[in-house]
Amino acid sequence: MAEQFREQGGAATMDPSPVLRWATSTLMTRLCRPQRLARRRVKLEKARVRSGRAHVIEYYHQVDDGYSHLAAQVLESLAARYDIEIICHLVEGPQGKNSAEPELLLQLSRYDAFHVAGEYGLAFARHEHAPPPALVHLASAILAAQDSQGFVGRAAEVGRAMWAEDETTLALLAQRYGRVSDAAVSDKMASAMARRDTLGHYSGAMFYYAGEWYWGVDRLYHLEQRLAALGIDRKPGEPLLVPRPAIEPPALKDNGSLTLEIYPSLRSPYTAISFDRAVKLARDSGVKLAVRPVLPMVMRGVPATRQKGMYIFLDTAREARAAGVPFGNFYDPIGDPARNGYSLFPWACEQGKGIDLISAFLRCAFAEGVNINKRQGLRTVVESAGLDWSAAARIVGQSGWEALLETNRLSMYNAGLWGVPSFRLLDEAGDQILALWGQDRLWLFAREIQRQLSARQSP
C-alpha cells in the first residue's frame, strides 16, 4: 500500500464482507424507490390529519455557517407563502465522525454562499475569515432568547449584523430583542442537537418536515414542491420562492481556452448523478475537460456514519429524480471494486476512453446494480466503456495508479475542497476562476463559463 494512504489511516484497505456488501446494497436500493417514498408520505400525512397537528417544519440554524445565513433570509417568506408552522432550533455544526473537515466546511460555506447568494436573490458578502467568536456568541445569545416566531423574523437581521462585524448594531439588537446567558445558549443548543440527532441528521442550515430533511436554500425547492402538493401553498401557480437554477444551454461557445476540472470518485452517489452532466456541460460549452479521479472519502481515512450515509443516499435519489437521471439500483463498489476500476483508468486514458470508463463504472454501480466485485461485473463495465476486456484483464489490479489519485487529492485540497464531486474552472493560464464542491453547483459553472466568454466580447 502506498505510504500516503497509510498516513490517512490505512482505510484504503476497506473491504466489507460479501454479505455486508449485499445487505447494504439491497437496503439502499429499496430506500431509493419512489413508490416507497410516496407510500410513506401518504402514511405520515394521514397520521398528521388524525392527530389534528399543523404542518410543522423544524429549522436548524448554525450561526457561523454561511448556508444558514442564506436560509435565514427566506424564513419569513416561507412562513408567509405556505400554511405552516416553523419551529426554530439553534445548533452547532457536524460533530464527531460526521465532521470530516470542520474548518474547511465553514470556509467553503462562506465562499460558496458568496457565489450563490446573488443567483438566488439573497445577500452574502465575501468573507475571507470567520466572524469573531465574541460576535458569534452574542448573535447566538440573541437568537436563543427568541421564540420560534421571533426567530423567523429576526434571524436574518441578527445574521447581517454579525457577518458585517457590526458590534454596535448587534449590541442594539440585544437590547431590543433580549439575550440569554452563555449557559442558557449551551442548554438550548444541546437540546436542539439531541433532537436533530434523534430525527437523523447532523448539520446546520437544515429543514425537517415529516420524515425528510432539506439542506438550506439549495434543497428548498423539494420542500416547496411537497408543500404545494399537499395543497397548502397560499399562492398556487406562482414561481417557487427558491427554484433550482437550470443548467442553461450555452449561448456562447469557447475554443478550449477555459478548462473545467472534475474530481470524481467511483463510490460517490453524488458523482454518479452528475458526472455525465458535467462532461456534457464541458463539451457543449467548448471548454477543455480534465477528469481527475480521487479515492472515495472513506477509503482515504475520512470517517462516515450510517446517519450521514443514509441522508446522502436518499438526498441523491431525490436529486436524481429531479434531474431525470437514472439512480438507485445500487451495488456498493467500495474497496476492491473501486481499486480495480482506478487501476484501469490510466490504461483507459491511453485508449481515449478514460471518461467512458468512469461513466460506465458509475452507471453500472449506481443505476444498473452490477456487482463489480465479481470479474463478470467488471467486464460489463469495461465493455460498456467500449474497451477490450481481454486487454483489461491483464492490467486490472496492478499498482501504479495510486500516485495519480494522490496528486489529484492534493490539488483538490489546495483549492479548499475535499469532497466529491468537486469542480474547478481555470483560465487559459491555468489560474483558478471558480472552485466548488457539489453536483448542485453545475448550473453555477455553466453561468460562470458564459460570463467569462461574454466578458471577452465586451468592448
Average pLDDT over residues 284-290: 98
pLDDT in tens, 137-156: 999 999 999 999 999 999 99
Q: How many other C-beta atoms are found inside a 10 Å radius of the C-beta of residue 68?
A: 26
Q: How does the average pLDDT of the chain come out, rounded? A: 93
Show the cell assigned to 417: 475542497
Type of residue found at 426: L
Q: What is the pLDDT of residue 71?
A: 98
Contact indicator for 196, 91 with CB cutoff of 8 Å: yes
Fold of 259-457: Glutaredoxin (3.40.30)
Q: What is the pLDDT of residue 24?
A: 81
Average pLDDT over residues 256-283: 97
Residues of the chain with CATH 3.40.30.10: 42-229, 259-457
Given a cut of 80, whether residue 14 has pLDDT beyond it is: no
Given a cut of 90, whether residue 257 has pLDDT beyond it is: yes
Rounded distance between C-alpha atoms, residue 292 and residue 411, angstroms: 9
pLDDT in tens, 92-109: 999 887 877 777 889 999
Q: What is the pLDDT of residue 10?
A: 38
Q: What is the pLDDT of residue 30?
A: 87
Rounded distance between C-alpha atoms, residue 437 and residue 386, angstroms: 30
Type of residue found at 283: R
Average pLDDT over residues 12-26: 74
pLDDT in tens, 402-458: 999 999 999 999 998 988 999 999 999 999 999 999 999 999 999 999 999 999 886
Q: What is the pLDDT of residue 331?
A: 92
Cis omega before residue 346 (within 30°)? no
Q: What is the pLDDT of residue 12?
A: 45
Q: At what angle do helices 354-366 and 336-350 cross, to 10 degrees?
A: 150
Given a cut of 60, whether residue 2 has pLDDT beyond it is: no
Q: What is the pLDDT of residue 104?
A: 83
Q: What is the pLDDT of residue 9?
A: 35
Show the cell assigned to 457: 466580447
Q: Percentage of the chain with pLDDT > 70?
A: 96
Given a cut of 60, whether residue 23 has pLDDT beyond it is: yes
Given a cut of 90, whether residue 19 has pLDDT beyond it is: no
Q: What is the pLDDT of residue 103?
A: 78
Contact indicator for 327, 277 with CB cutoff of 8 Å: no
Q: What is the pLDDT of residue 444?
A: 98
Q: Which residue has the higher pLDDT, 8 or 73?
A: 73
pLDDT in tens, 194-251: 999 999 999 999 999 999 999 999 999 999 999 999 999 999 999 999 999 999 999 9
Q: 42-229 maps to which CATH number?
A: 3.40.30.10
Rounded distance between C-alpha atoms, residue 27 and residue 419, angstroms: 24
Q: What is the pLDDT of residue 88?
A: 98
pLDDT in tens, 149-183: 999 999 999 999 999 999 999 999 999 999 999 99
